[in-house]
Structure 1
Amino acid sequence: MSKRFLIVSLILLAFGIGTLFPQVSKTVVAEKSAHSRLDNILKKKKIRIGTTGDYKPFTYWNSETKQFEGYDIDAAKMLAKNLGVEVEFVRTSWPTLMQDLQADKFDIAVGGISRNLERQKTAHLTAPYIRDGKSPLIRIEDKERFKSLADIDQPSVRIGVNPGGTNEKFVQENIKQAQVTVVENNLDIPNMVAEGKFDVMITDSVEARFYAKQDTRLYAALVDQPFTTHEKGYLIHRGDLDFQNWINLWMEEMKLQGKFKELEQKWLE
C-alpha cells in the first residue's frame, strides 16, 4: 500500500465520506428512509383492496351474504394469502376510482379494470391478465336487429350505461343518435334490457356473456367481433417499483401455476 493511498484513507475516516461528499450521504440516507407500500403492508399485516362491487363476474357485492364475490375477489384473496396478510375490501365506484386511489383509501384496486393510457397518466396499471372488448348486451329477440354499431346508433334505440368507466366513455365517443340513459347502478341495467326498458347495454364481452347465461331473455351480440380490444389489469399507485415488481411477479406465478385459468373456469365459462 502506498503512503499516498494510506494518507487519503485516513483523511476519509477522520472527516467521514458525508463531509467530503454530502450528496452521496444524502442519497444513502434517502434510500434507507424510503419505504415501499409493500413494506407497510407486511408490517401492518393487511392489504386494502378497492373494488366497485357492481361488475359481474369480476366483482359483485352480495347484499345477502354481505360479502364481495367474483373472479377478482377470489384473486385478491389469493394475493393476500401469498403476502401472508389479511385482506380488507374497500368499496369504491367508477367515477371516484382514481380519486379514491390518490386519497390512499386502498393499496390496489381490482374488479375488471381496463388498461388505458388515460388511467396510466395518474396511476400504474399492472401487467394484463385477460383480454376483452366492448360488445352489446341485447334481448335475444333482437339478435337479427343489432348486427353492427350502426344498427345500434339509431334515434329509436335506447341504451343504458353505467357512469364513470370505459363503458360510458365508449358510448360518449361512438353513439351520436341513439337515446342514452346513465344508470347509477351497473347491476340494474341487464334486467332493464331484458324487461324492455332499454334495447342495448354496451359493456365488456365477458360481462355480456355472463348475463346472457344467467337470463335466457338476453343475448351477448358480436362478442367474437367486439367494437374494441383491451386488457384487464390491476390499479396501483405510481412510483413504487418494489410493490409493482411484487404484484407483477405474483401475476406471472398465477399464470404459471394455472390459477388464473382456474378462476376463468369458475367465473367466465
Structure 2
Amino acid sequence: MQVKALLPLSWVALTTLLCTSLGLNAQTNSPDRLNRIMQSQTLRVCIWPDYFSISARHPKTGRLEGIDIELAHEFARDLDVELEFVETHFGRFMDDLEADACDIGMFSIAITDARAQRIDYSEPYLASQMYAVSTRTHPGIQQWSDIDQPGAIVCVQEGTYMESQMRSSLQHADMMVVKDPREREQAVMSGMADVFITDYPYSRKVLRFYDWARLIEPPASMTERPFRYAYAVAKGQPQWLARVNRFVSDIKQDGRLRKAAEANDLGPIVLEEVAPPH
C-alpha cells in the first residue's frame, strides 16, 4: 500500500499562493494584452496628474490636459476602445505597470538604463535639455556655470532623470532629493536650496506662473538633448509594444504629435520621424 505524505497546511497554502502569483504575473506580462484590451474595450493609461503641459489636472476645472492626455485619447480612438486614466507618479509607476494597474504609462517618461531593467520603452517622441530654476534675487546663481560650485545646493525630484543625471555629474555642489515636485519650489523659495533642476515641459510652467523665478538655460555648447521621452509598458509583451510603437510612428507621420505638441507649447522638443535611407 502506498502512503502519500501530507504537506503541512502552511506549505499547501504557500504553494497555492505562489502558483497563483506566478499565474497572475504571467497574465500581466502576457503577449496577448492587446487582445485583453480589445475584449475589455478599455485602454487603461497611467499618468502623473501634476506634469505641466504633459498630463496635468487643471487647478480650477479639475480637467486633465496636456500633450499625453490628448495623445492617449488618440490612441484609444485608434484602438476603438474606451479610455481610463489611472493616476500614478514617477516613484511608483513601474510597480503599477508590473501589478497590471494599467496597460501603458503615457506621461513623457524619460528613458534611463535603470528603468529599462524593469520596463520596456516605446520609441521616443520628445527630447529635452535640462533647465535650472533659481530666484530672481539670488546673489550667486546667474548662469549655468554658477550651479556646480562648493556650497551650492541643487534640488531634484526623486525617481526622475534629473536625479540620476545630477548625481553623476555634480562635482562640487550638494544635492537635495525631494518626493513631491512642489517641494523643489518651496526649497528654492525658502533658501534651503539654490536651484532645482527640471526639463523643458516644467520650465513652461515656471515662465508662465512664477514671477519669483529665474529660469537658467544650459549654455549653447550643450546642444544634445539628454532627455528622451517615451511611453512605457511592462516587460514580456512584444506584440503590445509593437502596437504602441506603431502608434508612435503614426502620430509622427500624420501630424498628430506635432499638433498636440504645439497646442501645449512643446513644439521645440518634438522628435520627428526619421526617414529611412534610400
Shorter-chain TM-score: which interval?
0.7 to 0.9
* Residue 272 of structure 2 is aligned to residue 251 of structure 1: no
Residue in structure 1 matching 2:188, options 161, 178, 193? 193
Match for residue 261 of structure 1?
Answer: 258
Deviations 1:194-220 (A, max 9, x none): 565542111113322442233343233
- What are the within-5 Å matches in structure 2 for residues 171-210 of structure 1? 171-190=166-185, 193=188, 196=191, 198-210=193-205
CA distance in 2, matches of 1:204, 1:173: 17
Match for residue 231 of structure 1?
Answer: 228
* Residue 77 of structure 2 is aligned to residue 91 of structure 1: no
1:74 is aligned with what amino acid?
E
Q: Note if contact 1:209-1:220 (Cα within 8 Å) is conserved in structure 2.
A: no
**By how many angstroms is 1:92 displaced?**
1.3
Q: Note if contact 1:55-1:186 (Cα within 8 Å) is conserved in structure 2.
A: no
Q: Note if contact 2:31-2:238 (Cα within 8 Å) is conserved in structure 1.
A: no
**By how many angstroms is 1:46 displaced?**
0.5
Match for residue 20 of structure 1?
Answer: none
Local SS of the residue matching 1:50: strand
* Residue 147 of structure 2 is aligned to residue 152 of structure 1: yes
Residue in structure 2 matching 1:167, options 145, 162, 166? 162
Deviations 1:61-90 (A, max 9, x none): 335434432211111111112211111111
- What are the within-5 Å matches in structure 2 for residues 85-124 of structure 1? 85-124=81-120
Deviations 1:150-182 (A, max 9, x none): x21234433332112212222322335434333
* Residue 144 of structure 2 is aligned to residue 134 of structure 1: no
**By how many angstroms is 1:51 displaced?**
1.4
Local SS of the residue matching 2:96: helix
- What are the within-5 Å matches in structure 2 for residues 24-43 of structure 1? 36-43=32-39
1:181 is aligned with what amino acid?
M
CA distance in 1, matches of 2:172, 2:225: 20
Q: Note if contact 1:154-1:177 (Cα within 8 Å) is conserved in structure 2.
A: yes
CA 1:266–1:194 in 2, change beyond 3 Å: closer, same or farther?
farther
- Counting aligned pairs with the same residue, the percent is 23
* TM-align CA RMSD: 2.6
Local SS of the residue matching 1:79: helix
CA 1:229–1:157 in 2, change beyond 3 Å: closer, same or farther?
same
1:36 is aligned with what amino acid?
D
Q: Note if contact 2:127-2:225 (Cα within 8 Å) is conserved in structure 1.
A: no
**By how many angstroms is 1:117 displaced?**
2.3
**By how many angstroms is 1:125 displaced?**
0.3
CA distance in 2, matches of 1:196, 1:102: 39
**By how many angstroms is 1:189 displaced?**
2.8
CA 1:143–1:242 in 2, change beyond 3 Å: closer, same or farther?
farther
2:180 is aligned with what amino acid?
N
Match for residue 240 of structure 1?
Answer: 237
The 4+ residue runs of structure 1 with deviation greater than 4 A are 141-144, 194-197
Q: Note if contact 2:119-2:232 (Cα within 8 Å) is conserved in structure 1.
A: yes
**By how many angstroms is 1:119 displaced?**
1.8
Answer with 173-182 or 198-207: which moved more.
173-182
What TM-score does the superposition give when structure 1 sets the normalisation length?
Answer: 0.76
Q: Note if contact 2:41-2:82 (Cα within 8 Å) is conserved in structure 1.
A: yes
**By how many angstroms is 1:140 displaced?**
3.8
Tell me which structure has the larger Cα radius of gyration.
Answer: 1
Q: Note if contact 2:152-2:173 (Cα within 8 Å) is conserved in structure 1.
A: yes
Q: Note if contact 2:54-2:201 (Cα within 8 Å) is conserved in structure 1.
A: no
Between Structure 1 and Structure 2, the one with more helix by share is 1
Q: Note if contact 1:55-1:187 (Cα within 8 Å) is conserved in structure 2.
A: no
Say how many residue pairs are matched: 235
- What are the within-5 Å matches in structure 2 for residues 68-79 of structure 1? 68-79=64-75
What TM-score does the superposition give when structure 2 sets the normalisation length?
Answer: 0.74
CA 1:172–1:35 in 2, change beyond 3 Å: closer, same or farther?
closer
